[in-house]
Amino acid sequence: MKAGSYVMGIDVGSSVTKGVLLLDGQILSNFMLPTGTDLDATAGECVRRLLSDRGLTQKDILYTVSTGYGRTQVKEADRTITEITCHGRGAKALVPRAELVIDIGGQDSKVIRLDEDGMVADFVMNDKCAAGTGRFLEVMAERLGMSLLDFGRMWKTARKPASISSTCTVFAESEVISLLSRGIAPDEIIRGLCDAVADRLLGMVHRVGLVPDVVMTGGVSKNEGVRLSLEKKLSLKVVVPDASQFAGAYGAAIIGHELAMRN
Amino acid sequence: MTPGTFDTGKSHRKIAGETRRIKVIRTLTRKSWVHSAAKLVISHMERRGGTPYQIDAIRSFADDFKHAYLKEKPCIYTSAFVPNELIYGLGGVPFLPEAASGFAASFGFARESLAACESLWYSPDLCSFHRAGVGASVLELAPRPAAVVVSSHLCDGGKRSLYQISRYHDCPFYILDVPYTNSVQSLDRLAKQIGKVARGLEHEVPGLSKAHMDEAIANSNAARSHYLRLCNLRANIPSPWRGREALSYVVLFLWSWGSPWLTKFYQALANHAADVIQSGEYPVRNERFRLAWSNLKPYYSPRLFDYLEDECEVSIAFEEFSYMYWDPLDARDPYVSLAKKIMSNPGWGPIERRLEVVNRIIREFSIDGVVQFAQWGCRQYNGATSVLSDYLRKKGIPFLNLDGDGVDARNSGEAQSLTRLGAFLELMESRDIRNSR
């Protein structure tokens, strides 16, 4: 590949679409926007913004890899790769010592074990319900009338977690209402909710095998409360890189870079 | 009992699922002209040069259904692992509600059957093959049974749901209590039970007699020989037959041992596989990987297989359900032979027996990875997932546990399943690239 070649990775997630532009394998820029209902248009908008910010056109792009649940809707893509492989590659690039990736997105969660080369050695995904996903936390935050960004602060002020027995979004919502009516403090409920998500992930982590260097990616990685609950339950530190939300798009772009080199 | 109703003891309660199209199908299945028309369609297919094994499969079911729906022979409901040589040998015709659920899903009737079953307080947590079977039976989409025979091995839900069916239709119910451990005594005990069931059926169901037993055993053994030839041919690389079809025809593997049509079907299918190998016209030409498939498949949508076989060029080279596990039967001692057949089922007894079969499939069919379709509510298979996963991991064979439902589309997320399959193939590809370095 000649110097100055550009490669793109586009991750069309269920809630947010992310894009990463690489120049000679290094991150040049990134962009994200809500996915909405028209996946095709959203992906196109993401591509346009990445290009226009750098004064580029589609002709300047050597290779594009799309990933995420809307990966097949990206017209500009030369290849589609699943988000499992892309998150693994992206996390390894962001945190080179990463061995285990916990990716929690809008509608699913995945635990990915990496081998020494950063390739996927094993993975598990949640079942089809919203339990343990970003959507679950969004619904609960809405019910409690607060922002997801408040979760970390409130987790720390809680004396103990409230007991939330269900991770079914509908049942847990009624549990939250019941806890509020019993006068349980909102911070304890939030900590209970974060624990419920972490409990759900714990089983998945042990299915692929717990290894020490754990990295969290996806939108929920920015939720400090869930990270704290996970760290407590796993008894180890969970690393959240700055660009954790872009891990999938970054991984897609890295694979695109490799494929372009191979071609 | 009026179809579409359930006797509560005081009144006949209407059940869900009794739609107009169900009434039409129920009526049509009982008309002799419909079965005559089916015969004409089969003849027409033959004249037009249809694929012989597909015609034989249709003929096999058309023949059984005609006998059962028109009450030409006693229809005996059996659970999936009862050796049906016993039923054909008594001159009856078997009907497997669990296997028929696959038909219902393929033809788009599962929704009504599931609704009917759930309206009778069956838990949606029960395996959908059983739920749809119960529903089809109480809606009388299925023929009326003269008796029900179940075995206790493998599916726990099967024997209970079939017991309910026998109550609904007020017909005799027999259970073969299969011993867990394999010994001379347990074999003898099971053989005696089979003999007792045969005598009970002869006594309680008019029209049954063991006069046909030798013929049924001979049919079974002849079909077995052709089947073994087919298995040898399926070991060929690339695979000469599509896995999606094999998973559809698993229904015949469960249903038709002892029927004369099964012999013809496997003979035609083995010939077809040989022709494919001879001509080089393989269904998946540039086979990237060869998978072994455990448990069944979604019968309502071909999407997963379009993706695997057509888009990704991956073959399902063999299925765990298709493994031939019994020895030829002995017509001189049919009940002992059938008891041996039941006791040889690798899904019964210690898990090591099942693992050994999986290992043989990996070796004999040059398997690159194993996919287990984790059927909703299947305790038998899902309960052993961690053991199978650990076993394969130690052998270095990639394994994917794919959650889903063969009959009830509400329990499957197609987009998620495709992502998991895609990631699984990417994992195998990355290992492949690394190993070739």
List all residues 6 or more positions away from B212 whose beta carbon is below 8 Å from its beta carbon.
B88, B89, B90, B91
The answer to whether the CB atoms of A120 and B415 lie below 8 A apart is no
Between chains, do A69 and B419 touch, taking CB under 8 Å as contact? yes
Please indicate, yes or no, whether residues B204 and B238 belong to a single structural domain of this protein: no
Query: Which structural domain, as residue segments, surrounds residue B257?
Result: 214-436
Q: Does B414 touch chain A (CB under 8 A)?
A: no
pLDDT of residue B27: 95
Phi-psi region of A55 (alpha: psi -120 to 50; beta: other; left: phi over 0): left
CATH of domain A6-89+246-262: 3.30.420.40
Q: Which of A14, A117, A125, A254 would you mutate first to test chain B, the one with the most B CBs within 10 A?
A: A125
Whether the pLDDT of residue B355 is over 80: the answer is: yes
Q: What is the 3-state secondary structure (H, E, C) of A17-65?
A: EEEEEEECCEEEEEEEEECCCCHHHHHHHHHHHHHHHCCCCHHHEEEEE
The model's pLDDT over B143-184, given as tens digits with 9 standing for 90+, comes to: 999 999 999 999 888 888 999 999 989 999 999 999 999 899
* pLDDT band at A165; cut points 50, 70, 90: confident
Averaged pLDDT score across all residues of chain B: 93
Looking at the structure, do residues B389 and B411 belong to the same domain, yes or no? yes
Chain A interface mutation, best of B401, B426, B428, highest count of A Cβ atoms under 10 Å: B426
pLDDT given at position B3: 65
Look up residue B53 and give its two tokens: 């094994």
- CATH entry 3.30.420.40 includes domain A97-240: yes
**Residues B207 and B218 both lie in one domain:** no
In terms of domains, do B277 and B358 share one? yes
A to B CB pairs, distance under 8 Å? 46
Residue of A nearest to B421 (CA): A82
pTM above 0.95, yes or no: no
Q: State whether B415 and B277 are in the same domain.
A: yes
Q: Could you tell me if B25 and B169 lie in one domain?
A: yes
Cβ B369 vs Cβ B395: under 8 Å: no
What is the arithmetic mean of pLDDT over B264-288?
97
pLDDT tens, B398-423? 999 999 999 999 888 888 899 999 99
Residue B89 pLDDT more than 70? Answer: yes
Q: Where does the pLDDT of residue B19 fall: very low under 50, low under 70, confident under 90, or very high at 90 and above? A: confident
Closest chain A residue by Cα to residue B401 = A124
Q: For position A2, what pLDDT does the model report? A: 46
What would the pLDDT profile of B368-387 be if each residue is shown by its tens digit?
Answer: 999 999 999 888 888 899 99
ipTM of the complex: 0.89
At A235, give phi and psi (nearest 5°): 55, 40
CA dist A131 and B55 (Å) reads 47
On whether both B203 and B276 belong to a single domain, the answer is no
Which residues in chain B touch residue A81, judged by CB atoms under 8 angstroms apart?
Answer: 422, 426
A183 CB neighbour count, 10 Å cutoff: 6
Pick the residue with more confidence: A150 or B73? B73
Do B284 and B303 belong together in one domain? yes
Distance CA B280, CA B299 (A): 29
Measured in angstroms, the CA of B103 and the nearest CA of chain A are apart by 25
Task: Say whether both B153 and B220 belong to one domain.
Answer: no
Per-residue pLDDT at A1: 43
CB contact under 8 A, B403 and A82: no
Q: Would the pLDDT of B437 be above 70? A: no
Average pLDDT of span A67-81: 95
Assess B437–A contact: CB distance below 8 Å, yes or no: no
Given B188, B211, B234, the domain boundary residue is: B211
Claim to verify: residue B247 and residue B125 sit in the same structural domain: no
Instruction: Give the residue-averaged pLDDT of B273-291.
Output: 96
Q: Which of B211, B231, B249 marks a domain boundary?
A: B211
Cβ–Cβ of A69/B415 closer than 8 Å? yes
SS (H, E, C) chain A: CCCCCEEEEEEECCCEEEEEEEECCEEEEEEEEECCCCHHHHHHHHHHHHHHHCCCCHHHEEEEEEECCCHHHCCCCCEECCHHHHHHHHHHHHCCCCCEEEEECCCCEEEEEECCCCCEEEEEECCCCCCCCHHHHHHHHHHHCCCCCHHHHHHHHCCCCCCCCCCCHHHHHHHHHHHHHCCCCHHHHHHHHHHHHHHHHHHHHHHHCCCCCEEEECHHHHCHHHHHHHHHHHCCCEECCCCHHHHHHHHHHHHHHHHHHHC
B109-145 pLDDT, tens digit per residue, is 899 999 999 888 888 889 999 999 999 999 999 999 9
User: Do B420 and A125 lie within an 8 Å CB cutoff?
Assistant: yes
A171-198 mean pLDDT: 91
Rounded to an integer, the average pLDDT of B270-277 is 98
| Disruptive mutation site among A123, A206, A208, A254 for chain B (greatest number of B CBs within 10 Å) | A123
Name the region of A28 (left: φ>0; alpha: ψ -120 to 50; beta: rest): alpha
Please answer yes or no on whether A128 and B419 come within 8 Å at the CB atom: no
User: CATH 3.30.420.40 occupies which residues in chain A?
Assistant: 6-89+246-262, 97-240
CA distance linking residue B421 with residue B307, whole number of Å: 9
pLDDT in tens, B212-241: 999 999 999 999 999 999 999 999 999 999
Q: Give the CATH number for residue B291.
A: 3.40.50.11900
Q: Which residue of A has its CA nearest to B410?
A: A128
Partner A contacted by B420 (CB < 8 A):
yes
Are residues B194 and B218 both part of a single domain?
Answer: no
CA distance A184 to chain B (A): 34
The answer to whether B423 contacts A128, with C-beta atoms less than 8 Å apart, is no
In this structure, the answer to whether residues B119 and B261 fall within a common structural domain is: no
| Contact assignment for A84 to B426 by CB distance below 8 Å | yes
Number of domains composing chain B? 2
Q: Of B211, B226, B249, which residue constitutes the final position of a domain?
A: B211
* % of chain B at pLDDT higher than 70: 96
